[in-house]
Amino acid sequence: MDDRIIGNNRIAWFEIVVMVCFCAVFLCACGNYQPSGADRMQVGVAYYDQSDTFLSQMIECLKGQFEALETEELEVTVMIREAAGSQRVQDDQVKELIDAGCNVLCVNLVDRADPSEIIDLAREYNVPIIFFNREPVAEDMLQWERLYYVGADAEQSGIMQGELAAGAIQAGRQIDRNKDGKIQYVVLEGEPGHQDAIIRTESAVNTLKQKGVSLEKLSCGIANWNRAQAQNRMMQMISQHQNRIELVLANNDDMALGAIDAYKKLNVTESAIPAFFGIDGTDVGLKAVADGLMSATVYNDKEGQSAEIAKLAAALITGTGMEKIKFENQRYIYLPYKKVTGSNVKEYHKEEET
Ligand code: GAL
Ligand code: CA
């Protein structure tokens, strides 16, 4: 009888030891998996396409900004995923980032009108999202209170591009080549539905008109921010309008460069080459301004935007510093654009000095 009790007790003790070990292993596993709070920032960055010149430069900046946040008190890790232009791929990547333990997400949506799946996931796991560069529509930003946006005001970039073009035209830079008092122009547009495409075009053209420039629109082509596509569109436009094109307004630098490529490829004589205006101030764009191939560009402040994203992410994780961030409309941060011409390009394109 005694033996049986002792035997049963032994079995009970054995079970307890097994249970304790099991719990310990389980807790350790959870410890690795769950965000531990203020001292650990695990950032998940998801962006739409690595072939985009501006975006890939911005991601580099962002990485640098996050690395600079690391201190003895704050451990920072960054995981980056690019979606090759597919929203479904991005949805899966965001799930993977959350499963890997990310406690803040920076998302550059593929389809700015389709963020619901990502928002639902983030809300389920209580991981805040900082959207950037591709602005979700206002109703979607209202889906949850831990959603933020960092970017720039599209209208401002268009106005600046229009002012730069008007300035060059009115300074008598021979842009009106046929001297008919009008500027024959074409537009190269970014992705349809992107906040930086239609708005930039409209505000650039309206600004030129307001400044008293008479315009004649010859053509408009969509080239999805892409240099090779812009080259193709431009070749078609040149064959349609021959030497009549006097001005090319491009929604970004890469497309302005594609237009320049088209003229080079067709070996058009210097005197028949129009003036090109871009937006972004990418390294290649700034170089083209410095070399006098592109008349001017508008600087899309990737450094400023990245710094604000990193600051906001840190504030969301540590719970301090939120009061120092200047929001518009409560959860939006917009950085100003800046005009870049041949006379100030050196301030931006530092490599040119060496
Ligand atoms: C714009 C930028 C483009 C392209 C686009 C992608 O702000 O000017 O070059 O990068 O974002 O969303
Ligand atoms: Ca003319």
pLDDT in tens, 1-36: 444 444 455 555 556 554 544 444 444 344 334 444
What percentage of the chain reaches a pLDDT higher than 90? 85
Distance from C-alpha of 137 to C-alpha of 84, rounded to nearest angstrom:
22
Number of residues written out for the chain? 354
pLDDT tens digits, 169-197: 999 879 999 999 999 999 999 999 999 99
**Is 302 a residue whose pLDDT tops 70?**
yes
**Is 75 a residue whose pLDDT tops 90?**
yes
Strands (E), 139-195: 147-152, 183-189
Which tops the pLDDT comparison, 269 or 2?
Answer: 269
**Is 338 a residue whose pLDDT tops 70?**
yes
**pLDDT level of residue 164 (50, 70, 90 thresholds):** very high
Determine the distance separating the centroid of ligand 2 and the alpha carbon of 195, expressed in angstroms. 30
**pLDDT level of residue 142 (50, 70, 90 thresholds):** very high
Mean of the per-residue pLDDT values for the chain? 91
Predicted confidence at residue 15, as pLDDT, reads: 60
Predicted confidence at residue 349, as pLDDT, reads: 82
Predicted confidence at residue 14, as pLDDT, reads: 52
Give the closest residue to 196 by CA, choosing from 132, 142, 283, 276.
Answer: 132
Contacts of 228 (CB under 8 A, 6+ apart): 258
Predicted confidence at residue 30, as pLDDT, reads: 40
131 lines ligand 1 (CB under 6 A): no
Predicted confidence at residue 354, as pLDDT, reads: 42
Structure tokens at 25: 């292993």
Determine the distance separating the centroid of ligand 2 and the alpha carbon of 214, expressed in angstroms. 9
At which residue do the structure tokens 């592109």 appear? 294
Predicted confidence at residue 155, as pLDDT, reads: 98
First to last CA, the chain: 93
Least confident of 67-71, 145-149, 236-240: 67-71
Distance from C-alpha of 293 to C-alpha of 285, rounded to nearest angstrom:
9
Which DSSP category does 173 fall into?
A: -
Which tops the pLDDT comparison, 4 or 208?
Answer: 208
224 lines ligand 1 (CB under 6 A): no
Residue nearest to atom 11 of ligand 1 (CA): 133
- The amino acid that residue 184 corresponds to is Q
Given the CA of residue 134, which atom of ligand 1 is nearest to it? 12
Contacts of 16 (CB under 8 A, 6+ apart): none
Assess contact for 106 and 45: CB atoms under 8 A.
yes
pTM of the predicted structure, to 2 decimals: 0.88
Mean predicted confidence (pLDDT) in 61-84: 95
Predicted confidence at residue 12, as pLDDT, reads: 57
What percentage of the chain reaches a pLDDT higher than 70? 88
52 lines ligand 1 (CB under 6 A): yes
Give the closest residue to 236 by CA, choosing from 215, 277, 265, 214.
Answer: 265
Mutate-to-test residue for ligand 1 from 47, 48, 50, 52, highest number of ligand atoms within 8 A of CB: 52
Q: Is the dihedral of CA 34, 37, 41, 43 positive or negative?
A: positive
Predicted confidence at residue 173, as pLDDT, reads: 79
Determine the distance separating the centroid of ligand 2 and the alpha carbon of 189, expressed in angstroms. 22
Backbone angles phi, psi at 45, to 5 degrees: -110, 125
Predicted confidence at residue 19, as pLDDT, reads: 54
Predicted confidence at residue 13, as pLDDT, reads: 54
Predicted confidence at residue 29, as pLDDT, reads: 43
Mean predicted confidence (pLDDT) in 100-105: 98
Assess contact for 269 and 232: CB atoms under 8 A.
no
